[in-house]
Structure 1
């Protein structure tokens, strides 16, 4: 837990959390939602702007067709029904980073509805419903400077104004912080596979607000919800929900009343703070956007988008398990990103043993990546290099010790495996005569262990294998060595 509160398990068990998530996703288009300005992160402040995204008088929005394609693809990927007709609306509010004084969004007639995502739970798979996916534009960004006890200066960067967004609203089906974490993880995977967004939370291209309430177990009516904002990682979302659930239970147990409000998460303190009372839909005075016609997504258009749908993560995992006879855990690692899954399949098809390729990724590659703090795509060893290593091991040309040493060198030097192998070229001793000579030497030097073996202590064979391995400097072929040691000891 991220909180100092310590409610007893008995009190916590009396209540059921109800959680719904609102996820805002920036679409990876070249230009903005309603104008031709570049949709690019990191430019100098207020350089990617024009009269349309600045809301200057007389400027008119024109909908970005690519944004519609991406939004439709995302809708289909999360099993939503794409509506043939949807309406843009004006969501009216004043804030310095919204120069128009309103946001173009969708309200009562969204692009897509009635979707779902299946997530793993301790009791199996749970289906989390998705209420809607609608299109909208992003606001700018307020940048604050100064000390809290002195003058606070705020500047506004409007580069982000007009960036195309989709908002994905879940049903209130989530009951634990862990379920929320799994839902977000699966959603991000799907969006990355479809390539509609880069989902970079640090740059703000994926943002999540959580609505959470608690109610006595067995009660059908929902409790009063609080919305938690300002959370920039899935891990923090889980922590914020844990804190907020306990906070609300503590309020109720103390005889108080939970109020509907927006709260901010403070990661440094591990707690939420009240920000403002929660707005209702009528506070925004929604009305149809007069400068944009209804969005018509025809059956032909939907079919065209559906034809571009890639194989999604869950389906791909199931296929890899069946096709390559790997474990579900291996499949989960190998499908972490679409690019990595593509590379694995390319390597698996070229290698003699796809299963060994998967094992090397799990055992040798991921361990080193974690130690170095690297992601899969930052690995110095390519999947082509993994395939070569797997083949050499499969053919008995490399022992596991030699393979580990070469992997270590590759990571130390930032080199791919083929280059390291070509330079180091460790040779495995597979000559039976040479190995028998070494075995005889070790047996002659260890008569006590020979007697133990012949007295029935068969595990002593491992001692002789180890001694020969040391004598051969790790170059003895392990399979042949084990076979020859057993024969020698039996004779």
Structure 2
């Protein structure tokens, strides 16, 4: 006899009737009593058998028959639900539970991510860029993802250029900013205009390394005199100088490998 008890009774009945139908049972017309101590309802009497109710079906309300074929058809017309999308992102794309939750938080976010992934082919990199660089820029400008100045196609192409070593990560952020500011129609156009294409030619990188080594006699001597376990950290100075000489376009992995070979040859 209170709204609170009515709410609890309805909540119990929802669960009871779902379970009853799923088990093949049928919900009958009846009066049920709510037990607040046990938080459940109990049958008191069925209306069909109680003549005093003067119960009769409304002739204007025809029975609704929902066969399995019709239910399957309706189910096939439904869009992918968030829970199913999260599961697919994890099971098929290999994303973490956290990434899957963030990217499926809204339909727009999920669709943007999936288009980026379609273009670049790497789900994890697509997730990182959408949640990182893109979301950060959107938040700073108080924009929704639907109004992003950088399209999913553009972002996917940018990530693809990182994956195929056309540009490195540092240059990729410059390209993203240029696209955000409307300074190019595509990642390739920005890379070309700004001369950001990564240098992977071994001969060109070796020439820059030789120049840095020649201009750094004190650091070379320090490297030569250091304990072997400390030399790895010291290479960072030389890598930085080579990257500076290449204006950030040299392939960092190649620079590291070639530098170690040349410096170790001086020992």
Q: TM-score, normalised on structure 1?
A: 0.38
Displacement of 1:303 in angstroms is 4.4
Displacement of 1:425 in angstroms is 5.3
Aligned to 1:461: 235
Aligned to 1:315: 84
RMSD, aligned α-carbons: 3.3
Alignment partners' CA distance in 2, 1:441 and 1:333? 47
Distance 1:348 1:295, change over 3 A: farther
Determine if contact 2:158/2:176 at 8 Å carries over to the other structure: no
Aligned to 1:435: 205
Larger RCO, structures 1/2 (Cα 8 Å, 6+ apart): 1
Alignment partners' CA distance in 2, 1:355 and 1:379? 20
Higher strand share: 1
Determine if contact 1:382/1:416 at 8 Å carries over to the other structure: no
Matches within 5 A, 1:442-457: 442-454=212-224, 455-456=226-227, 457=230
Alignment partners' CA distance in 1, 2:176 and 2:217? 37
* 1:299 paired to 2:66: yes
Displacement of 1:431 in angstroms is 1.1
* 1:397-439: CA deviation from partner (whole Å, max 9, x where unpaired): 1111111111112222386544544654522111111111111
* 1:75-133: CA deviation from partner (whole Å, max 9, x where unpaired): xxxxxxxxxxxxxxxxxxxxxxxxxxxxxxxxx99xx9449xxxxxxxxxxxxxxxxxx
Matches within 5 A, 1:346-365: 346-365=115-134
Determine if contact 1:352/1:394 at 8 Å carries over to the other structure: no
Q: Unpaired runs of 5+ in structure 1?
A: 1-18, 23-107, 116-219, 222-292
Alignment partners' CA distance in 2, 1:297 and 1:451? 89
Determine if contact 1:313/1:335 at 8 Å carries over to the other structure: yes
Higher helix share: 2
Determine if contact 2:154/2:186 at 8 Å carries over to the other structure: yes
Distance 1:432 1:311, change over 3 A: same
Alignment partners' CA distance in 2, 1:305 and 1:415? 45
Alignment partners' CA distance in 1, 2:138 and 2:73? 39
Distance 1:462 1:372, change over 3 A: same
Aligned to 1:405: 174
Q: Unpaired runs of 5+ in structure 2?
A: 17-36, 39-59
* 1:370 paired to 2:144: no
Displacement of 1:330 in angstroms is 2.3
* 1:221-248: CA deviation from partner (whole Å, max 9, x where unpaired): 9xxxxxxxxxxxxxxxxxxxxxxxxxxx
Alignment partners' CA distance in 1, 2:204 and 2:73? 65
- After the TM superposition, list the runs of 4 or more consecutive aligned residues in structure 1 that deviate by more than 6 angstroms: none
Aligned to 2:262: 488
Greater C-alpha radius of gyration: 2
* 1:449-489: CA deviation from partner (whole Å, max 9, x where unpaired): 22333313221111111111111111111221122122222
Determine if contact 1:389/1:403 at 8 Å carries over to the other structure: yes
Determine if contact 2:208/2:242 at 8 Å carries over to the other structure: yes
Determine if contact 2:149/2:181 at 8 Å carries over to the other structure: no
Alignment partners' CA distance in 2, 1:420 and 1:382? 15
Alignment partners' CA distance in 2, 1:295 and 1:331? 45
> More displaced, 344-353 or 428-437?
344-353
Determine if contact 2:183/2:190 at 8 Å carries over to the other structure: no
